[in-house]
Homo-oligomer: A and B are copies of this chain.
Amino acid sequence: MADNSAHVAGIGNAIVDVLVHADDLLLHKLGLTKGVMTLIDAAQAEAIYAQLPPGIECSGGSAANTIVGVAALGGRAAYMGKVKDDQLGQVFRHDIRNAGVTFDTKPATDGTSTARCFVLVTPDAQRTMLTYLGSCVEFGPADVDAAVVAKAAVTYLEGYLYDPPLAKEAFLLAAATAHDAGKQVSLSLSDPFCVDRHRAAFLDLVSGHVDILFANEAELCSLYRTESFDDAIRQVRGHCRIAAVTRGELGSVVIADEDIHVIGADAVEAVIDTTGAGDLYAAGFLYGLTHDRDLPTCAMLGGLAAGEIISHFGARPERPLKDLARAKLGSHIIETV
C-alpha cells in the first residue's frame, strides 16, 4: 500500500494575492512601511484597491506557498486553510490541488469573501503587503484534520495564524496533535510586526513547543527585542531543536543544538520580487529535513527554492524546482517517487 502520510502538513491563512507594481510614492501616499504586512478590513481593502494600479491575481498565503514548494520538490504535502466558495476561493483550491497538494478544508459558504493580500512590489524588488483576512477568520479547530496532522512528519504553522482568533486555537490543537503522535512541529515567525503583535505567545511557543523555527533576521531580532543578530542567535540557541534564520543575500544560518551552520546564498541574476522568499526557503529546508538530508543540504535546498521565487513576480514557483535542485545539487538530492 502506498504511503499517503504527508512529509509536511501546512496550516495557514488561505489567501489570493493581488500583485501590483508600485513606487515609493504610492507607499508613502498609503502610509505604508516597506517590507511588512499590515492587516486591513473590508472597507480599507476597497478604498486601497481603488488606488492601486492594474494587477494580477495569484494564489498565495505564506504556509500555502511553502506547501506548494514542498510538493514541487516531490514531497507529499497537505494543506489546511479556509477560503469561501467564491471565484477567488475556487482559484485558490484549483491552484493548490493541481500543484499536487492534498487540500480538503471545507470552504465557508457564507460570510466574508476569500482573503486577499495586496502585494505592492517596488522597483527594489521589496514587497509590502496589505492583507484582508476575509474567510480566514472562519478557520478554527474543527478544520484541523487530526488524522493528517498525526501522520505528517512535520506540521508547519505560520505565525500569521495568530491574527484571526479561532485560527490560534487551531494552531495549538494541531501542534498538540502532532506532538502527541511523536511528530515534529515547525513555526514560521512570518513578519516582524506579527511578532510584535504576538511576542509573548511566540516566545512561549519557541521555548518548548516548536521543533523547527523559521525566521528572518528582522523577525528573530523582533522576537528577542534586540538589534543585534548575534544576540538573537544566542537567545534562540537551545530553545528549539532547529532554528533556520534567513538573511537575504547573505544566505542563512542554521542553529541546531551545539552546531551553527552558515550557508551562503547563490547570486540570483535579477531579483524581481522578494514575495515568498521565506516561504520557499522553508519549503526547500523541510523537503530536505523530511528526506533525511543533512542540515547544510536542507539550507541549500531552501536557498535554491528561494532563489527561484525571487527571480520572478509572485510567490508560487514557475520553474520545476525538482529539476533545478537536481541540476544544482546533484540528481541524488531529490527522491525518485
Set of chain B residues within 8 Å of A55, measured between Cβ atoms: 95
Instruction: Answer yes or no: A91 CB below 8 A from chain B CBs.
Output: yes
Interface residues on A, range: 20 to 34
Question: Number of copies of this chain in the oligomer?
Answer: 2
Residues of B within 8 A of A99 (CB): 53-54
Instruction: Say if the beta carbon of A257 comes within 8 Å of chain B.
Output: no
Q: How far is the CB of A204 from chain B (nearest CB, A)?
A: 36
Would you call B316 and A54 a contact (CB within 8 A)?
A: yes
Interface centre among A87, A113, A318 (most CB of B within 10 A): A87
Q: Pick from B53, B54, B59, B114: contact of A54, CB below 8 A.
A: B59
**A103-135 vs B: 1/0 string, CB under 8 Å?**
000000000011000000000000000000000
A52, CB-defined interface residue at 8 Å: yes
B50, B57, B68, B95: the one within 8 Å of A58 (CB) = B57
Contact call A56/B56, Cβ cutoff below 8 A:
yes
| Chain B residues, Cβ within 8 Å of A68 | 54
Q: Is the CB of B94 within 8 A of A49?
A: yes
Residues of B within 8 A of A54 (CB): 59, 68, 94-96, 98-99, 316
**Complex Cα–Cα for A114 and B94 (A):** 18
Residues of B within 8 A of A53 (CB): 98-99
- A307 to chain B: closest CB distance in Å? 19
- Give A138-180 interface residues, CB cut-off 8 Å to B: none
Q: When chains A and B are docked, how far (Å) is the Cα of A154 from the Cα of B158?
A: 53
Q: 1/0 per position for A35-73, CB-CB distance to B under 8 A?
A: 000000000000001101111111100000000100000
Complex CA–CA separation, A68 to B53 (angstroms):
12
CB-defined contacts of A50 to chain B, threshold 8 Å: 94, 98
Q: Mark A1-35, 1 if CB is under 8 A from B, else 0.
A: 00000000000000000000100000000000000
A314 within 8 A of B: yes
Scan residues 276-290 of chain A and give those whose CB is less than 8 A from a CB of chain B: none
Which of A's residues lie within 8 Å of B, judged by CB? 21, 49-50, 52-59, 68, 86-88, 91, 94-96, 98-99, 113-114, 314, 316, 318
